Structure 1
Amino acid sequence: MLPGIRQTYFIVFLGCTGLILAALYMQHAMGMHPCPLCITQRIFVIVVGLLALLAALHNPAAFGRKIYGGLSIIGALIGAGVAGRHVWIQNLPEDQVPACGPGLEYMFETFPLMDALRLLFQGDGNCADVVWQFLGLSIPGWTLVAFVGLAVISLWQALRKA
């Protein structure tokens, strides 16, 4: 039997929470410092997770499910685009990897907000490092898989009957 609509939203929230906890574990316990694209992906995992939590608490009717589902799909697809770009950068030949850019704090302190955000989404040479793999996929590769899964679940939630 499939979980109910409210339960599915809560499961998505828990999945997103697990992804963020795994990222924080890798950062603080394993010493893997996130690059700008990693941070951007975390932001979109949080966005989708918070939308799922709000939907679970709200328990919307059909129209509300379409709204929550649509917003979640948008968040997941943007996150998938960022993760896909990250995977692409990681697979570039060494001579084509973008130069390393300034740190995140420096970007937001020095540049206008829109320029800092553009640099954040663009990624840099730090994003090309593959520091961990599982079953042949890097962290951004697994994050891309997660975002695709989140988009599919969000579409299913938006279209399913109660």
Structure 2
Amino acid sequence: MNLSLEKWPTYRLAWFALFITAFTLEAAALFFQYGMDLKPCIMCVYQRTAVMGLIFAGLVGMTMPKNFIVRVVAWVSWGVSAIWGFLIAQEHADIQANPEDHFFLTCDFLPNYPSWMPLHEWFPQVFNPTGDCGNIDWQFIGLSMPGWMSVIFLGYAAAFITVFSWRLLKLRKI
């Protein structure tokens, strides 16, 4: 098996790695919610949605990684989820770090999902916000949950950009 970077997206193992890491994050989020009794806010729920997009990308990519259409769907889901998740996590971290700048900002009570996909109604145990965006209930090495999610989503986005760019560069040389 040739494991050069530009060929990674054509292997199930690469997509499985994306799936399993994102699935582990989702499991950790549920542990924080139900095991440690931390209440997710609306921004947390949106970040969970982005993680679900990464899980979806991994699952789709694993199905038929050599099929161009399947890879495009997986790529788009990976890229959009990683970048959108990073932006949401950054905004959430900013709300927590600079509460004086967001004094009149309040979190919504319900997620703004499309009417054709009300995840908070279908899966309220996962997507129903019950916490406050400004609360910092957990920290590790000086970073709150959205701070760590910013780092994690940045890693997913960097991996996406690196592999995608490398693939484009290598394929153009052929």
Could you say which TM-score interval applies, normalised by the shorter chain?
0.7 to 0.9
Residue matched to 2:40: 34
Tell me the alpha carbon deviations over residues 81-131 of structure 1, each in whole angstroms, 9 at most, x when there is no partner: 1000000000114474345456338x88xxx96xx9xxxxxxxx9211111
**What residue identity is the alignment partner of 2:86?**
A
Match of 1:142 among 144, 148, 151: 148
TM-superposed deviation, 1:135: 1.2
2:16 equivalent to 1:10 = yes
Higher RCO, 1 or 2 (CA under 8 Å, sep at least 6)? Answer: 1
- TM-score normalised to the size of structure 1? 0.76
**What residue identity is the alignment partner of 1:18?**
T
Residue matched to 2:124: none
Residue matched to 1:104: 110
- TM-score normalised to the size of structure 2? 0.71
Unaligned stretches of 5+ residues in structure 2: 119-130
Residue matched to 2:50: 44
Residue matched to 2:121: none
Count of aligned pairs: 149
Tell me the alpha carbon deviations over residues 56-84 of structure 1, each in whole angstroms, 9 at most, x when there is no partner: 12213567545532331122111111000
CA distance in 2, matches of 1:71, 1:144: 18
Q: Aligned in 2, Cα 1:140/1:2: closer, same or farther, shift over 3 Å?
A: farther
Q: Aligned in 2, Cα 1:22/1:47: closer, same or farther, shift over 3 Å?
A: same
Bigger helix share:
1
Unaligned stretches of 5+ residues in structure 1: 117-124
Q: Aligned in 2, Cα 1:56/1:95: closer, same or farther, shift over 3 Å?
A: closer
CA RMSD, 1 decimal: 3.2
Residue matched to 1:82: 88
Identity across matched positions, percent: 31
CA distance in 2, matches of 1:41, 1:30: 18
